[in-house]
Amino acid sequence: MAKLMVLTILGLGLAFFRDHRSSYLKRMNASREVKSIELPNCKFVKGIETGSEDIEILHNGLAFISTGLQYPGIKSFASGKPGKILLMDMNEEDPRIVELKITGSNFDLSSFNPHGISTFTDEDNTVYLLVVSHPDFKSTVELFKFQEEEKSLLHLKTIKHELLPSLNDIVAVGPEHFYATNDHYFVNTYLRSWEVYLGLAWSQAVYYSPNEVRVVARGFDFANGINISPDGKYVYIAELLAHKIHVYEKHANWTLTPLKPLDFNTLVDNISVDPVTGDLWVGCHPNGMKIFSKDPETLPASEVLRIQNILAEEPKVTVVYAENGTVLQGSTVACVYKGKLLVGTVYHKALYCEL
Ligand SMILES: *[C@@H]1O[C@H](CO)[C@@H](O)[C@H](O)[C@H]1NC(C)=O
Ligand SMILES: *[C@@H]1O[C@H](CO)[C@@H](O)[C@H](O)[C@H]1NC(C)=O
Ligand SMILES: *[C@@H]1O[C@H](CO)[C@@H](O)[C@H](O)[C@H]1NC(C)=O
Ligand SMILES: CC(=O)N[C@H]1CO[C@H](CO)[C@@H](O)[C@@H]1O
């Protein structure tokens, strides 16, 4: 009897892991083949070799790019080196990269590990850059003032909070005022990879202001990119491992009401919003498992989606660019400016194309 019991428990355990393994592979969309979709006149951005994880373009065409992210479990070509913020002018024919100098007495450059970024421009045209960073596996939001003449970032403040424990991405609605996603997985412990495997959906989104911090949405299977519509009425959150983008209505009191989820056939990472048309541009991982591979032969693919009329019953979704990783590995973000597309990656290069 005892033996039978042990066998039954063993059997249930194995069934659990078998089912889990198949759902895990499905969540990672591990084996999708990528059919190539090319764009004319693509070139690499010179000077970016260690990732371009997040990008934000100002109205005047200046693009901020975070580079050198070191994420637990994922390859990095910048190993051991601090990350940087780069600047590129989308108006130039052959854009050059400038590394922004970081100034300010209270900022430790050596542990800078920039992740999601966002900008806020106030009435006086002062540009603030908010950067999620991970000094020593912690999560902070670093607030900088952009000084265009000097090509520098003046560090103003480090924001930390118990409701911001494992940040991924951020969208600013004021200099010290933002929505952010906590993916839950940016910590230096072995356990978390099991939690990814089990799909516990412990990620959430938080609203932060100096007076009030609260969770505004929860239960995500890896919350990733977050962004806001140009009119400020809707918030979009990418749920990476559930292959969904959630649309929320934003209220005057900053709470969010879910409107609808959209399903995709790919792992949706960053969302950028075209300030003119309101279209969403999404950097995606069509075969997510490969992003964790350290094998130089197994290259993670890249894919860029454009979503038009997201509030309509049937939004139009177009695959604008897709590539199996031979050219560009592991796209995370795609931004447009005047007919040009800039695609960033977790740890690889950045690609600049004409649409
Ligand atoms: C972009 O994707 C990365 C990679 O997962 C994510 O960590 C980052 O915060 C994202 N940024 C935006 C703007 O979504
Ligand atoms: C925020 O505003 C919405 C819409 O007016 C309302 O339904 C909700 O109860 C408010 N929530 C809080 C916490 O004030
Ligand atoms: C990727 O695509 C290129 C061009 O279409 C092809 O030559 C190459 O063999 C493909 N690589 C893999 C690993 O599928
Ligand atoms: C959710 C999901 O599994 N999506 C896709 C992953 O990739 C395969 C193709 O290899 C599709 O059939 C799935 O629909």
The total of structural domains in the chain comes to 1
- Closest protein CA for atom 8 of ligand 4: 32
Q: How far is the CA of 347 from the centre of ligand 4 (A)?
A: 25
Does residue 252 sit within a domain?
A: yes
Which ligand is nearest the CA of 299, by number?
3
Residue 251 beta carbon below 6 angstroms from any ligand 2 atom: yes
Residue 177 confidence (pLDDT) above 90: yes
Average pLDDT, stretch 44-55? 79
Best mutation site among 31, 32, 303 for ligand 4 pocket (most ligand atoms within 8 Å of CB) = 32
Higher pLDDT, 219 or 22: 219
The answer to whether residue 115 is catalytic is: yes
The per-residue pLDDT for range 184-204, each reduced to its tens digit, is: 766 666 556 667 777 777 788
Which ligand is nearest the CA of 115, by number?
1
Q: Which of 20, 115, 161, 251 is catalytic?
A: 115
Q: How far is the CA of 1 from the centre of ligand 1 (A)?
A: 53
Does residue 7 sit within a domain?
A: no
Hey, which bits of 136-279 come out as E strands? 140-147, 152-159, 167-174, 177-182, 203-208, 213-220, 223-228, 234-239, 244-250, 256-263, 267-273
Q: How far is the CA of 92 from the centre of ligand 2 (A)?
A: 46
CATH of the domain at 297: 2.120.10.30
Q: How far apart are CA 81 and CA 338, in angstroms?
A: 34
Does residue 195 sit within a domain?
A: yes
- Closest protein CA for atom 5 of ligand 2: 251
Residue 324 beta carbon below 6 angstroms from any ligand 3 atom: yes
Average pLDDT, stretch 280-295? 85
Q: What is the DSSP letter of 232?
A: S
Residue 298 beta carbon below 6 angstroms from any ligand 3 atom: no
Does residue 116 sit within a domain?
A: yes
The per-residue pLDDT for range 140-160, each reduced to its tens digit, is: 999 999 999 999 999 999 999
What pLDDT score was predicted for residue 334?
A: 92
Boundaries of domain holding 115: 32-354
Does residue 51 sit within a domain?
A: yes
What pLDDT score was predicted for residue 353?
A: 94
Does residue 23 sit within a domain?
A: no
Sheet containing 140-147, strands listed edge to edge, beginning at the edge strand earlier in sequence: 101-103, 152-159, 140-147, 127-133, 114-121
Q: How far is the CA of 257 from the centre of ligand 2 (A)?
A: 9
Does residue 176 sit within a domain?
A: yes
The per-residue pLDDT for range 92-114, each reduced to its tens digit, is: 988 899 999 999 988 999 999 88
pTM (2 decimals)? Answer: 0.88
289-315 core/surface letters (b: 16 or more CB in 10 A; e: else): bbbeeeeeeebbbbbbbbbeebeeeeb
Does residue 2 sit within a domain?
A: no
Sheet containing 234-239, strands listed edge to edge, beginning at the edge strand earlier in sequence: 223-228, 234-239, 244-250, 256-263
Residue 3 confidence (pLDDT) above 70: no
- Closest protein CA for atom 1 of ligand 3: 324
Give the CA distances from residue 257 to residues 75, 204, 228, 238, in Å, rounded to whole numbers and listed in that order: 37, 14, 14, 15
Residue 52 confidence (pLDDT) above 80: no
Side chain identity, residue 333:
V
